Copies of this chain bind each other. A is one copy, B any other.
Amino acid sequence: MRFTAETTSDGVVERDFTLGDVTGVLWAPASGPDHAPLVLMGHGGGLHKKTPGLAARARHLATTCGYTVAAIDAPGHGDRPRTAEDERARAELRQAMAAGDPIGPVSARYGASLAKQAVPEWRATLDALQDLPEIGADAPVAYGGGITLGTAIGIPLTAADPRITAAIFGGGFVVYDALLDAARRVTVPVLFMLQWDDEHVDRQAALGLFDAIGSKEKTMHANLGGHGGAPAFEDPAPFLTRHLGTAGAPA
């Protein structure tokens, strides 16, 4: 893991990093105890690791809970090169959305392919983060959200990596069989965000995805509104502090 840039503003240090081909960013309070809980953030399809909504949530968690927050660009997103397959899938998605056609088939195929690459990338990133003395192996870890693509990656990642002890997912993604299979293998407490009027997702399929999650504790927060995202009053901090504690005060 190589740090390539560092800036501090409003009490939060933001450090860009690379790990092999993967580009990422780490937010942390400018001062605070080491080994604070670590939250992994996913971004939506077509977006990137510093998308404004994601960065605002990360800074909020760093300042109010003392958390360290990490985000990486998904394959073919942000600062990472795009393959011919990326360009083709993006063009098909744009075309379907412009024509008002269902984005399901291409979205499912592309999402599954990205998740397959992204899960080992996230796990290697987590290895490297835990090697940093200020994080370490004993900091509790959560997957802290990400609608759409962030969920298509987050569900198989949470199912695969036992270091993740709580997770936030969003309903805004096309549901396909491999995603349902992974959801059944998730056993940690889950907060599931659903936009009730998502124009790109079948509501019953999203409810079915929530239903499939194997956890004994899972909560769905459904809000009116479309694909754009949850209302500002939806704060991930109460769920995360309940399961991770805060910096210096374990759950």
Contacts and interface: CB of A to CB of B under 8 A. Distances in A.
Given A207-B207, A233-B242, A242-B233, A220 B222 contact: yes
A224 B218 contact: yes
A173 interface: no
Contacts of A210: 222
Contacts of A242: 233
A116 interface: no
A223 interface: yes
A199 to B, nearest CB: 16
A80 interface: no
B216 A224 contact: yes
A234 to B, nearest CB: 8
A219 interface: yes
B221 A219 contact: yes
A217 interface: yes
User: Chain A, interface size: which category?
Assistant: 10 to 19
Give the one of A215, A216, A222, A223 with max B CB within 10 A. A222
A221 B220 contact: yes
A176 to B, nearest CB: 22
Contacts of A218: 223-224
Interface in A221-250: 221-224, 231, 233, 238, 242
Contacts of A217: 224, 231
Nearest to A230: B219
A219 B216 contact: no
22 contacts: A196-B211, A196-B220, A207-B207, A210-B222, A215-B224, A217-B224, A217-B231, A218-B223, A218-B224, A219-B221, A219-B222, A219-B223, A219-B224, A219-B231, A220-B221, A220-B222, A220-B223, A221-B221, A222-B222, A233-B238, A233-B242, A238-B238
Interface of A: 196, 207, 210-211, 215-224, 231, 233, 238, 242
Given A207-B207, A219-B224, 20 more contacts: A196-B211, A196-B220, A210-B222, A215-B224, A216-B224, A217-B224, A217-B231, A218-B224, A219-B221, A219-B223, A219-B231, A220-B220, A220-B221, A220-B222, A220-B223, A221-B221, A222-B222, A233-B238, A233-B242, A238-B238
